[in-house]
A and B are shown apart, each in its own frame.
Chain A
Amino acid sequence: METNAASNAESVQTVHHAASARKSPLWTRIKKQQVLLWMSVPIMLHLVLFQFVPLWGWLMAFKDYHIGQSLWKADWVGFKHFRTLLGHDEFLQALRNNFAMNSMQLILGTLSSIALAVVLSELRSKSFVRIVQTMTYLPHFVSMVVVANIFVMLLSPDGGLINDLLLKLGWIDESVFFFGKPTWFWVIHTLILTWKGFGWGAIIYLASIAGINPSLYDAAMVDGANRWQKVKYIIVPSIMPTVILLTILSIGGLMTGGFESQFLLGNVINADYSQVISILSLRLGLNAGDFSFGTAVGIFNSVVSITLVLIVNAIAKRYQANLF
């Protein structure tokens, strides 16, 4: 009995000893790295609060939640809000607007940036190139609010510069209210965003053009290639990987991206063509107080964009596999 107890005590002691032996390096490591921990843990907690805690709110989309109520007590309704969503006329319209404007912007934006980069790389006067680049960057840095203000003013039917010019040239007989023509909105929006981004977008293409091996040009010259052929057979193929990569990156936002520009440029008259999903979510969710529905729209956004990214990634992988 006694020996048993003793051996028990002994074994307890060894277990305890082993545990402390396993534990103590951790404890010493914590103590040793305490400054690093102090420097990082509060920031990570901040991140958890503002990035991860809101995910908890996704529950709202599966419940009938009203403001002032506790999220716990709200009734579960399953996919009710998602079903309403997919049968919602305004939602389908917004989805169409999203897709139309994002794809138009993707195509025109990419083409104009490539064109600018190719032309810039063709010119010899480096100071001219630098000046043009600096000037075309500018709209990228100013806010969308400023850009929207500028174009609403320029396109204004009463005294706007564009109407003024068109009248003087005799191309139109009376002022046109550009933002009052719903079907024009997609085109106007695309042109404005392209104006804002084409200079900045050219940087990355200029970088890939600068990285082309000069011996390729020499070889082309020996073969008697003209400038157009050099662009077609050397420059375009060498920036293709960049074009594909950037296109892949932007496809995630193709169905759901966009908010600020449409929100600022849109008005009541062109709402049928300017309202995108995020605006709908803001309007129905916050302004009308239907939090559950608004959150469902938000979740739809995330799920669709992540799915698109995964699909495109899979396609890109297969494409590359075929390539090599």
Chain B
Amino acid sequence: MPLHRSAGERTFDAALYALLAVAAFTTVYPFIYLLIISLNETSDALKGGLYFWPRKFTLENYAYVFQKDTLLRASMNSVLRTVIQTVLSVFACGMLAYVLSRKHFMLRRFFILMLIVTMYVSGGLIPTYLLIKNLHLMNTFAVYIVPGLVSAFYIFVMRTFFEQLPDGLVESAYIDGANDFRIYTQIILPVSLPVLATIALYVAVGEWNSWFDNYLYNSRNEKLAVLQYELQKMIQVVETAQPEDGGGDGPRVISPLTIKSTLTILVTVPILLVYPFLQKYFVKGLTLGSMKD
């Protein structure tokens, strides 16, 4: 590359920077806009004209969301399903991945073939729905965890990683008389943190963001609602202000507009906190999956 660029090239560069700045702004601004609305007084927000800064700053909307039982419970459910599924799924997928990384394992080819089939064929919505119904998993918390416990894609990504570990690690443990389960939990897992983090993030983000299983299987039981489902129910709600008992002094105005913005921000914050630091793991996982051969 030449050290000196012509005036034309520099203008062109400036145009590129400007273009990218616009692209980045367009991606992030909608979130900022909702943040501003959620931090503004409801009756004032409904007048419109809020662009870059709250006009009448308040934390009332957040207080409202946190004191509403349904939303508090939904947050708990969301956190619970995310934590439980992440731990169980990473452990289970990893365990199968470890077994399939043992070249001498007798059912290795057969199991791998079965896993590949699941990546291409699925029973579809209604047969799966009927299965869940017949298993009496409808209106239970377990329906968030059990059906999606393992996924062929995660297993293959982890197996690829395990196969790249030095053979001596496992061989020496065999000689010391350790069994495979001990080798998996005490030797393989501790040295596989990068791939575990990758899969844990995939699972966690997926769990945190899911709402359809709630809609499909648990919509009759309010107590099992998750945050995304509560938010989903509000998408098409018309924006009219309605007085509601705030529990404090007199009725205060609360509107779907502010509740939606507040909830949306609350649902986005955990992702916002996690993704910039761990995006390299995501990218790594992406390339790991594609470099299978």
Answer whether A40 and B99 are a contact pair too, CB < 8 Å, given A145-B235, A286-B125.
yes
- Report the interface size for chain B: residues with CB under 8 A from the other chain: 84
Q: Decide: A164 and B211 in contact? CB cutoff 8 A.
A: no
- What are the residues of chain B within 8 A of A152 when measuring CB–CB? 235-236
Task: Say yes or no: is A139 at the interface (Cβ < 8 Å to chain B).
Answer: yes
Q: Decide: A149 and B235 in contact? CB cutoff 8 A.
A: yes
Please measure, in the bound complex, the distance between the C-alpha atom of A150 and the C-alpha atom of B27, giving whole angstroms: 12
- What are the residues of chain B within 8 A of A135 when measuring CB–CB? 24, 27-28
- What are the residues of chain A within 8 A of B51 when measuring CB–CB? 161
Q: Decide: A145 and B211 in contact? CB cutoff 8 A.
A: yes
* B147 touches which of A50, A132, A298 (Cβ 8 Å): A50
* A54 touches which of B120, B123, B257, B268 (Cβ 8 Å): B123
Q: Decide: A227 and B123 in contact? CB cutoff 8 A.
A: no
Answer whether A138 and B150 are a contact pair too, CB < 8 Å, given A54-B128, A291-B126.
no
Describe A's contact surface by its main secondary structure: helix
Q: Decide: B271 and A142 in contact? CB cutoff 8 A.
A: yes
Q: Which of B58-66, B226-234, B246-254 is found at the contact surface with chain A?
A: B226-234
Q: Decide: B127 and A138 in contact? CB cutoff 8 A.
A: no
Task: Say yes or no: is B33 at the interface (Cβ < 8 Å to chain A).
Answer: yes
Q: Please, which residue of chain A has its CB at the minimum distance from the CB of B92? A: A43
Q: Decide: A145 and B231 in contact? CB cutoff 8 A.
A: yes
- What are the residues of chain A within 8 A of B107 when measuring CB–CB? 37, 40
Task: Say yes or no: is B149 at the interface (Cβ < 8 Å to chain A).
Answer: yes
Task: Say yes or no: is B209 at the interface (Cβ < 8 Å to chain A).
Answer: yes
Please measure, in the bound complex, the distance between the C-alpha atom of A282 and the C-alpha atom of B216, giving whole angstroms: 10
Q: Decide: B27 and A134 in contact? CB cutoff 8 A.
A: no
Contact with A along B40-68 (1 / 0, CB 8 A): 00000010110100000000000000000
Q: Which of B14-22, B161-169, B192-200 is found at the contact surface with chain A?
A: B14-22
* B275 touches which of A116, A137, A227 (Cβ 8 Å): A137
Q: Decide: A123 and B49 in contact? CB cutoff 8 A.
A: no
Contact with A along B239-250 (1 / 0, CB 8 A): 100000000000
Please measure, in the bound complex, the distance between the C-alpha atom of A46 and the C-alpha atom of B228, giving whole angstroms: 27
Q: Which of A28-36, A72-80, A94-102 is found at the contact surface with chain B?
A: A28-36
- What are the residues of chain A within 8 A of B211 when measuring CB–CB? 143, 145
Q: Decide: A138 and B257 in contact? CB cutoff 8 A.
A: no
Q: Decide: B179 and A203 in contact? CB cutoff 8 A.
A: no
Q: Decide: A282 and B125 in contact? CB cutoff 8 A.
A: yes
- What are the residues of chain A within 8 A of B125 when measuring CB–CB? 278, 281-282, 285-286, 294, 298
Please measure, in the bound complex, the distance between the C-alpha atom of A126 and the C-alpha atom of B127, giving whole angstroms: 50
Answer whether A138 and B23 are a contact pair too, CB < 8 Å, given A145-B209, A159-B257, A291-B126.
no
Q: Please, which residue of chain B has its CB at the minimum distance from the CB of A206? A: B283
Contact with A along B265-290 (1 / 0, CB 8 A): 00110011001100100010011000
Task: Say yes or no: is B130 at the interface (Cβ < 8 Å to chain A).
Answer: yes
Q: Decide: A56 and B120 in contact? CB cutoff 8 A.
A: no
Task: Say yes or no: is B96 at the interface (Cβ < 8 Å to chain A).
Answer: yes
A window 252-279: CB within 8 A of B: 260, 264, 267, 278
20 A-B interface contacts by CB (under 8 A): A43-B92, A47-B115, A49-B131, A50-B147, A51-B121, A53-B123, A53-B131, A57-B130, A60-B126, A119-B19, A135-B24, A146-B209, A146-B268, A153-B261, A154-B33, A161-B33, A260-B212, A282-B125, A286-B129, A295-B126
Chain A residues with a Cβ under 8 A of chain B? 29-30, 33, 35-40, 43-44, 46-58, 60, 116, 119-120, 122-123, 125, 128, 131-132, 134-139, 141-146, 148-154, 156, 158-159, 161, 164, 195, 199, 203-204, 207, 227, 260, 264, 267, 278, 281-282, 285-286, 291, 294-295, 298-299, 301-302, 306
